[in-house]
């Protein structure tokens, strides 16, 4: 089978590299430098939509639903109208559930199969090919592409019908967001009360307060580094989706709402380009403290 890959960002680039090591892959991204880099790794660059005429499977890794729709359905440069009948589109982007269903409906009308397959694991696991992939769609279609997907993800879970992959990813992301917001609120309190930041970090990450968020963010926060994860501004769509689902299905989510408030405050204070660990800057400013190692004691910014 021949594969196409669109979207060579922080996650898409290593995923496409891993796929191209054992499969015929055509790639495209607006960043010509990254396309050139992928071409040196074994992938073939596509000059435009015509470069995907003979692909059997098109994989997307893009930052938003609007960009996914544009890549597929743009009147002039949309890829979908260039795909052959029966081709499979796999969207590994993290986008809204409703948008996923809409994309599926449009592709189905064109005779193109679709699966949503968002991933979890951050860039290091994308590079290692050990991502977790949550798939929504026809199980028989998954069987056809599972070997190729296994070059990118070591844990591939079929969650159900189209859209269930995005819903599962959303559940995971919202829990991660809540954990990150909790760290932002509680860790500065320890410093305000005179407790050593490094020792608190050791206790949390070796005790019952430990989470993936604490293990990932605390070492970076201690060193004042806030550029090691997905930017908050780009990830905010998860919280929007959570609020929409809460409202639509009348599901109370008070803890999520509180975490969202912290997230929003960080965005309003201009931290959108930083990772989620930067939510702590909000509470550091409020309490006039800094959760840093002794060599990194700086004023919150």
Please write the tens of the pLDDT for every residue from 58-80: 999 999 999 999 999 999 889 99
Q: What average pLDDT does range 273-287 have in this prediction?
A: 97
Please write the tens of the pLDDT for every residue from 6-26: 999 999 999 999 999 999 999
| Catalytic pick among 169, 237, 274, 276 | 169
Please write the tens of the pLDDT for every residue from 239-260: 999 999 999 999 999 999 999 9
Look at residue 299 and tell me whether its pLDDT is greater than 60.
no
Positions of CATH 1.10.1040.10 in the chain: 168-296
Look at residue 297 and tell me whether its pLDDT is greater than 70.
no
Q: Say if CB 232 and CB 217 are below 8 A apart.
A: no
Token pair for 214: 């604490």
Task: Say how far apart CA 285 and CA 279 lie, in whole Å.
Answer: 11
CATH architecture type of domain 168-296: Orthogonal Bundle (1.10)
Look at residue 99 and tell me whether its pLDDT is greater than 60.
yes
Report the pLDDT value the prediction gives residue 255, as an integer from 0 to 100: 98
CA atoms within 13 A on the CB side of 238: 28
Report the pLDDT value the prediction gives residue 298, as an integer from 0 to 100: 54
Task: Say how far apart CA 116 and CA 23 lie, in whole Å.
Answer: 21
Look at residue 279 and tell me whether its pLDDT is greater than 70.
yes
Look at residue 45 and tell me whether its pLDDT is greater than 60.
yes
Task: Say how far apart CA 180 and CA 114 lie, in whole Å.
Answer: 33
From the list 141, 130, 72, 132, the residue with the least C-alpha distance to 100 is 72
Report the pLDDT value the prediction gives residue 56, as an integer from 0 to 100: 97
Look at residue 223 and tell me whether its pLDDT is greater than 80.
yes
Q: Say if CB 122 and CB 146 are below 8 A apart.
A: no
**What mean pLDDT value characterizes the chain?**
94
Report the pLDDT value the prediction gives residue 221, as an integer from 0 to 100: 97
pLDDT level of residue 179 (50, 70, 90 thresholds) = very high
Q: What average pLDDT does range 46-51 have in this prediction?
A: 86
Task: Say how far apart CA 86 and CA 82 lie, in whole Å.
Answer: 12
Token pair for 200: 């608190």
Please write the tens of the pLDDT for every residue from 180-194: 999 999 999 999 999
Positions of CATH 3.40.50.720 in the chain: 2-160
Of all residues in the chain, the percent with pLDDT exceeding 90 is: 89
Element (H, E) at 5: strand 2-6
- What is the fold of 2-160? Rossmann fold (3.40.50)
Task: Say how far apart CA 61 and CA 84 lie, in whole Å.
Answer: 20
Please write the tens of the pLDDT for every residue from 110-141: 999 999 999 998 888 999 999 999 999 999 99
Look at residue 296 and tell me whether its pLDDT is greater than 80.
no
Task: Say how far apart CA 137 and CA 135 lie, in whole Å.
Answer: 7
Quick check: pTM over 0.75? yes
Specify whether 215 is catalytic. Answer: no
pLDDT level of residue 151 (50, 70, 90 thresholds) = very high
């Amino acid at each position: 089978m021949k594969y196409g890959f669109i979207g060579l960002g922080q996650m898409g680039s290593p995923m496409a590299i891993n796929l191209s090591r054992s499969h015929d892959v055509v790639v495209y991204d607006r960043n010509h430098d990254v396309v050139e880099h992928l071409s040196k790794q074994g992938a073939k660059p596509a000059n435009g939509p015509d470069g995907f005429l003979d692909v059997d499977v098109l994989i997307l890794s893009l930052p938003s639903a609007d960009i996914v729709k544009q890549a597929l359905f743009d009147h002039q440069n949309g890829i979908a109208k260039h795909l052959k009948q029966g081709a499979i589109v796999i969207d590994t982007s993290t986008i809204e559930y409703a948008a996923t269903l809409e994309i599926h409906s449009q592709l189905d009308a064109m005779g193109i199969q679709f699966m949503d397959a968002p991933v979890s694991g951050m860039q290091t696991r994308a590079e290692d090919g050990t991502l977790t992939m949550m798939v929504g769609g026809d199980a028989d279609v998954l069987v056809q592409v599972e070997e190729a997907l296994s070059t990118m993800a070591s844990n591939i879970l079929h969650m159900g019908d189209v859209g269930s992959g995005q819903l599962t990813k959303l559940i995971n992301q919202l829990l991660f967001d809540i954990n990150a917001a909790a760290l932002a609120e509680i860790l500065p309190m320890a410093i305000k009360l005179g407790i050593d930041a490094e020792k608190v970090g050791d206790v949390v990450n070796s005790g019952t307060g430990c989470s993936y968020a604490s293990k990932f963010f605390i070492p970076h926060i201690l060193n004042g580094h806030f550029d090691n994860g997905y930017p908050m501004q780009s990830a905010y769509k998860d919280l929007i989706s959570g609020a929409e689902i809460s409202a639509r299905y009348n599901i109370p989510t008070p803890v999520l709402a509180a975490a969202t408030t912290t997230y929003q405050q960080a965005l309003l204070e201009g931290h959108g380009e930083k990772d989620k660990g930067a939510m702590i800057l909000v509470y550091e400013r409020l309490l006039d403290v800094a959760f840093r190692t002794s060599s990194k004691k700086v004023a919150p910014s």
